[in-house]
Amino acid sequence: MLARFPAFFTFSTHDIPATHTFYEQTLGLEVHRNARGFLELYLPGNNTAVIYAKADHKPANYTVLNFEVQNIERIVDDLRDKGVVFEQYGPPIATDAKGISWDPEGSNIAWFRDPGGNILALIEG
């Protein structure tokens, strides 16, 4: 029934200006602030995410946005040079010093947070 209608996903932040700067300047995404003050992220594949301000914002404790990348190590290095801090996890997903979890099957992942504390991931594989 809903297959013919456009869809988008949303999540919140407590700081719209810092979030706008992060997604646009640090991550290099196209970002627009709409008439309601929400951020609209235009993502590859004709996808859209909307980020809205919430006074009692609590970061999601799960990954809200995944980026499929090639050469995860280079992307991690580039983002670290821009000040992005990657999460460090122990077993069973254990990350290396850079924050990359190397999967022998090929799905390498690195997690980081946006200014609202929401978890984002880079996935290679």
Tens-place pLDDT, residues 21-63: 999 999 999 999 999 999 999 998 889 999 999 999 999 999 9
What's the average model confidence in pLDDT over 78-103? 96
Cβ–Cβ < 8 Å for 11, 117: no
The size of the chain, in residues, is 125
Q: Which of 17, 20, 57, 60 is CA-nearest to residue 41?
A: 20
Tokens of 56: 């009692």
26 phi and psi angles, rounded to 5 deg:
-80, -50
pLDDT tier at 101, thresholds 50, 70, 90: very high
Nearest-angstrom CA–CA distance, 79 and 113: 12
pTM of the complete model: 0.93
